[in-house]
Every structure is written in structure tokens, then in C-alpha cells.
Structure 1
Amino acid sequence: MSFLDDDRPKKPAAHEIGADLSLLSADELQTRITILQEEIARLEAEKARKAEGRKAADSFFRT
């Protein structure tokens, strides 16, 4: 990796919390809404998985 690699423009994130939305079209806003809804579903699934693991551990150690 050379020092020139650091000067490359970084790919923008799909969505940045708090970003200015005024320049986005309705279609772009819908795309971001969809991305965020999918991310929320992924987070909720992981939360549920961890809660089940915690429940199993609590049940194991209570016996």
C-alpha cells in the first residue's frame, strides 16, 4: 500500500445518521428507508438470538 492510497475518495456510506436529506430525490429516500428497515430487522433478529442465548444460560445455571 502506498501513501497515494490514502488520497483516494472514500465510498460514501449507504446512509449516515443525521445526514442532510434535502438533496435526495423521493426514490433515493425510499431506497434509504428500505436499507434502514432491513438493518433494523437484522438488528432485531440478532437481539432475539442473544436473548435466547441468555435465557438458555439463565435456565442452565438456575438448576
Structure 2
Amino acid sequence: MFADDDRPTPKKLHEIGCDLSFLSVAEIEQRIALLHKEIERLEADKLSKTSSRNAAEQFFKSK
């Protein structure tokens, strides 16, 4: 019914490869913290998927 195109897009907190020359040390530290949290999230998801895959492989090996 309504197009979502007219909604403002949220500003990205960090974009890989962006120019860092205008950032303060505090802003860089914030981005580093953000990226560490993202790495932790990715590693947790990877672990979950690996565990699920290993369980499935063990299930089908036992058959």
C-alpha cells in the first residue's frame, strides 16, 4: 500500500573501508567497540551453525 522508499534510512555507524581522517580518537574507539561486538556475534553464530552441522553429521553417520 505505502512505499517504504520515502522513509529515511538509518545512518550507518561504520562502513568498512571508510575514510577515518575526520574521526576523533573517541569516535574511533566507539567504532572499534562496535566491530568487536559484531565479531563476537558472528563467532557465536558460526559456533551455533557448526554445532548443528556436527550434530546432523553424527546423526546420519549412526544410521
Does the alignment reach a TM-score above 0.5?
yes
* 1:28-60 deviation per Cα after TM superposition (whole angstroms, max 9, x unaligned): 000000000000000000000000000000000
Name the Cα RMSD after superposition.
1.8
Letter aligned with residue 47 of structure 2: A
- What is the percent sequence identity of the aligned residues? 46
Give 1:16's aligned residue.
15
Letter aligned with residue 24 of structure 1: L
TM-score when normalising by structure 1: 0.85
Unaligned runs of 5+ in 2: none
Distance, in Å, in 2 between the alignment partners of 1:34 and 1:28 is 10
Instruction: State how many pairs are aligned.
Output: 60
CA shift, 1:27, in A, is 0.1
CA shift, 1:11, in A, is 3.0
Distance, in Å, in 1 between the alignment partners of 2:22 and 2:10 is 18
CA shift, 1:20, in A, is 0.2
Moved over 3 A (4+): none
Structure of higher RCO (CA pairs closer than 8 Å, 6+ residues apart): 1
SS of 2:17 mapped into structure 1: coil
